[in-house]
Amino acid sequence: MVKADFYETLGVTKTADEKELKSAFRKLAMKFHPDKNPGDAEAEKKFKELNEAYEMLKDPQKRAAYDRFGHAAFEQGGGGFNPGGGFAGGGFSDIFEDIFGEMMGGGRGGRARSTGGRERGADLRYNMEISLEESFTGKTAQIRVPTSITCEACTGTGAKPGTKPTTCATCQGSGRIRAAQGFFSIERTCPTCHGRGQTISDPCTKCSGQGRVTEERSLSVNIPAGIEDGTRIRLQGEGEAGMRGGPSGDLYIFLSVTPHEFFQRDGADLYCSVPISMTTAALGGTFDVVTLDGAKSRVTVPEGTQVGKQFRLKGKGMPVLRSTQMGDLYIQIQIETPQKLTKRQRELLQEFDQLSSKENNPESTGFFARMKDFFDTLSD
C-alpha cells in the first residue's frame, strides 16, 4: 500500500512551521470529523490519515526522521530506530549526558539490521579529548572520520569491471522469497543474495564486492560551552553509509576533558587549592587568581585565616550547559609552614612563641587540654 505524503495530506509545504501545521490540521480535521460526516467511510479514512500525519509532523524528532527517510522511518524494523523514543532527529549535535551503559542500543555493528537488502550503516565512535579551557569556551572541532563511498572501479555494482552481477536464481531477482507456514505464506529476505536480487560471481577486487570503499572525510563538530567529561554527542546520520540505499549509521563523539593543573571541577563549580604563607594567614593579605575567563580576581585573606577556609568567587566557575548560568569558583586555602629557617628567623619565632597566649591558638590549646582530660578519665 502506498501511503500519501504527510505534508500533502495536511495540504502544507515541507517548510511549514508548527503554527501552520496546527491550523491546517484543525481546519481539515473539522471538515472530515466523523461526527460531521456520519456513515461516510471515505471521510473517516481521511480523518484517520490526517491524525496520523499530524501526530508525526508535530513531533520535531519524528518529522526530521520522516524528512530524511520518508515512511520507511516508521515501518517495523525499517531504518533501524523506533519512532517511540530513543531516536533524536533534526539536531546536528544531540547531547546525551547519559553514559555508556545502554550505548548504541543495538545499533552498533548495525550491519545485522537488514531490511530487504537495505542495510543500515554501522555507528561510529570517535574519542575526543578537550581541555578545561575548551570546555569553558566551547569550540568547533574539525575531525576526520572514515566514511564509505561508492566504489569507482565497479561503479558500486560490486562486480569485477567488465562483468555484471547476475539475477539471483533463488528469488528471480526480487530479493524476497515466500515460504508457506501453516495457513500463511511468509515472505522473507532471500538467503542467497541477501535481498540484493543479484549475485556476483566475479567480485570487484577493489571493494571485495561491497560496491563501496572507505575514505576519510572532514566533519565539523560543535562542542557547546560547559560540556562535561564523559559526555557523548550524537551526530545523526554521520556514521557509516548504509548498504544499497539503507540509512546511514550515527556518529558518536565521546568527550573527555583533560584534568587541569589548577582547577578541579564538580559540575559547574570549580575548586582551586591555593597555598599561602603562614604570615599571610596570620596577618591577612591579598592575592590574585586568574580565572578561566582570562580575568583576575582578587581574594582578600582576613587576619587569622585557618587552613581549609573556602572563599567563593561567584560566577567564576564553568558555564552551565545550554544556559547563561555560571558555576562558582571555590578557593581553598592551604597554609605553608616555613622551612629552612635562618638563625634570625628562628630567634624571632621563638620569641613570638614565648609571647603567645592561649587566645592566639584556641584550637590547639583546647585540643590538648581536652585530650588530657580524656586520658585522665580513662586512668581513673
Binding-site positions for Zn(2+) read 151, 154, 168, 171, 190, 193, 204, 207
Give the x/- contact pattern for Zn ion in 164-183, rule: CB under 5 A: ----x-xx------------
Question: Pick from 154, 200, 251, 253: which binds Zn ion (CB under 5 A)?
Answer: 154
Q: Cβ of residue 154: shortest distance to Zn ion, in angstroms?
A: 3
Least Å from the CB of residue 151 to Zn ion: 3
Q: Of the candidates 242, 245, 212, which has an alpha carbon nearest to the alpha carbon of residue 112?
A: 242
Under the binding rule (CB under 5 A), the answer on residue 51 touching Zn ion is: no
Q: What residues pair up with 146 in beta bridges, in sequence order?
A: 216
Q: Work out whether 160 is an interface residue with Zn ion (CB under 5 A).
A: no
For residue 206, the minimal CB distance to Zn ion (Å) is 5
- Stretch 92-151 residues interacting with Zn ion (CB under 5 A): 151
The pattern of x and - marking residues 197 through 226 that bind Zn ion according to CB under 5 A reads: -------x-xx-------------------
53 to 92: interface string for Zn ion, x by CB under 5 A: ----------------------------------------
Q: Which is nearer to Zn ion, 139 or 206 (CB)?
A: 206
Contacts of 342 (CB under 8 A, 6+ apart): none
21 binds Zn ion (CB under 5 A): no
Q: How far is the CB of 159 from Zn ion (least distance, A)?
A: 8
255 alpha carbon, distance to own chain's centre: 8
Q: Which of the 8 DSSP states describes residue 6?
A: H
Q: Hey, what's the cell of 96?
A: 546525551
Q: Nearest approach, Cβ of 161 to Zn ion (angstroms)?
A: 8
Reduced to 3 states (helix: H, G, I; strand: E, B; else coil), residue 67 is helix
User: Which of the ranges 190-198, 312-320, 329-337, 341-349 carries the binding residues for Zn ion, by CB under 5 A?
Assistant: 190-198
d(CA 159, CA 205): 8
Residue type, 146: P
Question: Which residue from 93, 163, 192, 264 is in contact with Zn ion, where contact means CB under 5 A?
Answer: 192
Q: Across the strands, what pairs with 95?
A: 233
Q: Toward Zn ion, which CB reaches closer, 168 or 272? A: 168
In the complex with Zn ion, the residue whose CB is nearer, 190 or 255, is 190
- Identify the DSSP state of 247: P
3-state secondary structure 107-137: CCCHHHCEECCEECCCCEEEEEEECHHHHHH
* Minimum separation from the CB atom of position 70 to Zn ion (A): 25
Q: Which is nearer to Zn ion, 152 or 288 (CB)?
A: 152
| Residue 330 vs residues 47, 181, 271, 312: alpha-carbon distances, Å | 60, 70, 5, 5
Q: How many angstroms separate the CA atoms of 196 and 245, rounded?
A: 11
Among 73, 193, 253, 333, binds Zn ion (CB under 5 A): 193
Give contact residues for Zn ion (rule: CB under 5 A): 151, 153-154, 168, 170-171, 190, 192-193, 204, 206-207
